[in-house]
């Protein structure tokens, strides 16, 4: 059985993971509308990853017999300023997620909840990869600036992303 403070924090994190999925669905819709079909695909895969993150946490809460609450998922943006802006918003969101996961890890460590701490380290490691991937895309977009062919090439590259269940990683 896990402590009430940690239960509350994990249920909030569960909501944030599904909210993240919804955020990326909004970003995918924006990219599709703007003709960036590769970026739209990229965010759709990101959406699937967030669902997988949410489901891993859902399963953990069930295994720990936590009485689940599933609060409403907040509405998300579907309008952005540019391809660069949408990826910058994505990076800012991932940094926010990392901060939350670090904060919950601190609570788990303080409460000597090793099982939850161990679970959270999987998420913390996943965040390093997520932030690095988005940062690299931002760098590439900045590099080409407004060059149409450059943006077309980046979009083509983003089209190649396929979903690999992140929870199948150790």
Residue 20 interacting with ligand FEO (CB under 6 A): yes
Residues 109-148 interacting with ligand FEO (rule: CB under 6 A): 130
Of 11, 15, 17, 113, the one binding ligand FEO by CB under 6 A: 17
Contacts of 47 (CB under 8 A, 6+ apart): 21, 22, 24, 25, 28
50 annotated as a binding-site residue:
yes
Q: Which residue minimizes CB distance to ligand FEO?
A: 53
Given the complex with ligand FEO, which of 61 and 144 has the nearer CB atom?
61
Of 97, 137, 151, 154, the one binding ligand FEO by CB under 6 A: 97
Q: How far is CA 158 from the centre of its chain?
A: 17
CB atoms within 10 A of CB 148: 8
Residue 155 interacting with ligand FEO (CB under 6 A): no
| Angle at CA of residue 151, ends 149 and 154, nearest 5° | 110
Of 143, 21, 161, residue with least CA distance to 93:
21
Site residues for ligand FEO per CB under 6 A: 17, 20, 50, 53, 94, 97, 130
């Amino acid at each position: 059985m896990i402590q009430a403070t940690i239960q509350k924090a994990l249920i909030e994190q569960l909501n944030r993971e599904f909210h993240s999925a919804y955020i990326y669905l909004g970003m995918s819709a924006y990219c599709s509308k703007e003709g960036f079909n590769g970026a739209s695909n990229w965010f759709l895969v990101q959406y699937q990853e967030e669902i997988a993150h949410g489901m891993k946490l859902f399963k953990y809460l069930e295994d720990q017999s936590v009485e689940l609450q599933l609060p409403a998922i907040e509405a998300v943006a579907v309008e952005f300023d540019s391809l660069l802006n949408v990826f910058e918003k994505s990076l800012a969101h991932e940094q926010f997620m990392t901060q939350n996961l670090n904060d919950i890890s601190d609570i788990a460590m303080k409460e000597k909840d090793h099982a939850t701490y161990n679970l959270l380290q999987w998420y913390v490691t996943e965040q390093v990869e997520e932030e690095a991937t988005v940062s690299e895309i931002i760098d590439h977009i900045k590099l080409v600036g407004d060059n149409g062919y450059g943006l077309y090439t980046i979009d083509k590259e983003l089209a190649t992303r396929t979903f690999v269940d992140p929870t199948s990683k150790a």
